[in-house]
Amino acid sequence: MNNKVISKIISGTLLCSMVGYTLPVFAYTKDETVYSKMDSNGKNYKTIVSTHIKNTENVDLINDLSDLLNVKNTSGDETYTQDGNKFAWNANKNDIYYQGESSKELPIECNVKYELDGKELSANEIAGKSGKVKITLQYTNKEERTVDINGKKVKMYVPFVVVAGTIIENENARNIGVSSGKVVDDGSKTVVVGMAMPGLQESLGLSDDEVEIPSNVEITMDATNFETSSIMSYVTPKVLEEDDLKVFDNLDEIYGQVNTLQTSMNQIQNGANTLKDGTTELATGANTLKDGVTTAYNGAQTISSEVAKSTQSLKNDKSEALDSKTLESIKQQAAESSKLTEEQKAQIKAQAQTSAVLTDEQKTQIKAQAAKKAKLTEAQSAEITALAKKGAALTEEQKAQITEKAKDGARLTEAQKTTIITNAQASYPALTEAEKKLLIATAQSTATQTAVNTALATAKTTAELTAVATALNVAQQVATQTAETTAIETAQQIATQTAITTALTTAQSTATTTAMQTSTTVAKQVGNQAKKTFTNQVVSQMSTLGNGLNQLTSGLSELNNGATTLANGTNQVNDGATTLAEGIKTFNEEGIKKICNYINGDVKDLTTRVQKLTDLSKDYNNFTMLDGENDGEVKFIMIADAVKKQEDSEQNKEEAVLSTNVINDENK
């Protein structure tokens, strides 16, 4: 198979693989094939456009627009008239085939670069060389457009697909490869076909990290006496058809479902956060309850311990009820109260003076008798002491009456009971009926005990004062009686002065001594008896209080254990709710949101871009000129000259002729 036949096969295959699109019905459709001759480095030096007007309406006259030069009919004898860019073809119901030349810039620019063992060389320099060869066909899209993508102005390009191909002799090359393409080896020759889509990467807004859409074709080989035949590039703006876009019809529904998914996920996250906040408050409350119960339990234990200590201390107290200072004070009060009045002193003086006239013998006898009678006998002292004791002691009947009246006055009213319960519930809301009854009983007992203690203490004080007063009265009576007796006896026996002095001195001394002794003795007895009675009652009541406190402590211990269990449980629930909320937040932010943002962002953006590319492809329907009422289609065939050694220049000429023949054959 010679090179001429193979070239025709390649060009025919490329053309047939890219045609066949269904077009809507217009007055006529215009199909352009633009042939570009390039040197071996990719520089364009000649452009020929072959045009096929499809007379779909079988009209006799076709009005066409074109900016081509040297237009000629290439198939048939139909003629035309020209007025600037306006052509009127006498079609006679036939299709029109014509050809012309153009100097316009191509929409795709091709640059051919050659490298030998990694070093860039020109086409002339690399011809005939041996080594690792790389040919790079770099395509640049020149058809830039500004379009609206979801409200944002972006730069896009008319979507062109480039299919490049060439034939390489196996005799001079091996290990032939191509990027983004296919290599077909028939044994003697290798057909290399590659594909590029210049500008599509930018049009789709994709980075190289996401996907790499080739804008070039690289051909590699191990060459000996390197040469190439012509490299052909077939270019078409037809990337997607309308039917290809039907896949996007259901995307709007998907977008709506994605938004619903995001909204629902946000609601789930909000609910998880609410649950977390609620369990946090519950855990805080449970911990507060636990702390409060623990404090109450510790307080109850402390009170119970102190009550027990106080009770035992009262039982062991053997001290006197009245201390030495109190007794000394009582003595001084008794001594002060025993002083004789001025009236008494005057009477004693008067009586003594009446009997003041005595003989010396009588005086001696009176002195002796006065000296004897001035001192109290033991019997007198005992009589005074017994009288003080009897007058100071409370009877059992008196004690009972005092206690009963104190109890009656200490009974709690219903209002007081209600107040006690209300105050207790402010600190301990979960009081049971048994605990309420215990509180009322404890309060009643405390009130009763306080009243009784107060009454008995008052009785004690009264008894002490009464004892002192009684002792003073008794002493005063004794002193008065003794003074009178002594005064009378002395007045009768001694002289006036002696009688007066002795009577006054004796009476005062006796009264003072008797009063002091009587008052302290009576005070001690009354005080000790009152202390004993009070202590016994207090010990009894404190024992009852201690038992109640023990029951309260036991109940608080159970409540404390329950509160601790509740706090631990609520803390675990709170930890679980927190973990759930954080997990849902992570799932939403790192999963659902990214998916929704990707679909509503990247996917939606990409979908819009693809639709815009389809519009750009559809709009690019001619290279020369086209009436807006008609439709067109255009494709480009770019032919780069072969790379040959100088002695093969004649062969180069032959291939150039071959390329022209291929163009003419296609138009036929």
| Rounded average pLDDT over 547-569 | 82
- Proportion of the chain in helix, strand, coil states, percent, rounded to 5: 60, 20, 20
Q: pLDDT higher for 446 or 233?
A: 233
Q: What is the pLDDT of residue 352?
A: 66
Under 8 Å CB-to-CB from 640, ≥6 apart: which residues?
A: 38, 39, 40, 42, 110, 112, 137, 230, 231, 232, 233
Q: Residue 455 corresponds to which tokens in the numbers above?
A: 């009454």
Position 250 confidence tier, pLDDT thresholds 50, 70, 90: low
What is the C-alpha radius of gyration for the chain, rounded to an integer number of angstroms? 67
- 3-state class (DSSP) for residue 205: coil
Confidence of residue 433 (pLDDT cuts 50, 70, 90): confident
**Alpha helix segments (H runs only) across 411-432:** 414-427
DSSP state letters, 333-374: HHHHHTPPPHHHHHHHHHHHHHT----HHHHHHHHHHHHHHT
Is residue 17 pLDDT above 60, yes or no?
A: no
Q: Which residue has the higher pLDDT, 502 or 364?
A: 364
What is the C-alpha separation between 159 and 620, in angstroms, rounded?
9
- Distance in angstroms (rounded) separating the CA atoms of residues 363 and 494: 5
How far, in Å, are 47, 139, 241 from residue 22 at the CA level?
A: 27, 28, 9
97 or 556, higher pLDDT: 97
Percent of the chain with pLDDT over 70: 78
Interatomic CA distance for residues 236 and 109, integer angstroms: 13
d(CA 429, CA 382): 66
Q: How confident is the model at residue 10 (pLDDT cuts 50, 70, 90)?
A: very low
Q: For residue 660, is pLDDT > 70?
A: no
435-438-443 Cα angle (round to 5): 130
Task: Compute the average pLDDT of residues 315-320.
Answer: 73
* Structure confidence at residue 8 (pLDDT): 45
User: How far, in Å, CA of 253 to CA of 368, rounded?
Assistant: 144
Give yes or no for residue 588 having a pLDDT over 80: no
DSSP secondary structure of 225-271: S--B--EEEEEES----GGGGGGGTTHHHHHHHHHHHHHHHHHHHHH
Element spanning 446, H or E: helix 433-493
Residue 488, token pair as written in the block: 């009378």
Reference 529, options 388, 382, 399, 404; nearest CA is: 399
Average pLDDT over residues 373-398: 75
Question: Helix, strand or coil for residue 154?
Answer: strand
Higher pLDDT, 431 or 213: 213
Of these ranges, 59-73, 228-242, 351-365, 403-417, the one predicted with the greatest mean pLDDT is 59-73
Q: Which is higher by pLDDT, 181 or 454?
A: 181
Choose between 154 and 417: higher pLDDT.
Answer: 154
Q: Is 60 exceeded by the pLDDT of residue 243?
A: no
Distance CA 124, CA 486 (A): 172
Confidence of residue 396 (pLDDT cuts 50, 70, 90): confident
Give backbone dihedrals phi and psi of 67, rounded to 5 degrees, phi first: -110, 20
pLDDT at 291: 87
Instruction: Output the DSSP codes for 99-144.
Output: EEE--SPPSEEEEEEEEETTEEE-HHHHTT--EEEEEEEEEEE--E
Sign of CA dihedral 571, 573, 579, 581: negative
Q: 509 or 111, which is more confident? A: 111
pLDDT of 658 strictly over 60:
no
* 97-122 average pLDDT score: 97
What pLDDT does 168 receive? 96
Q: How many residues appear in the chain?
A: 668
What digits encode the pLDDT tens for the residues 481-492?
665 566 556 556
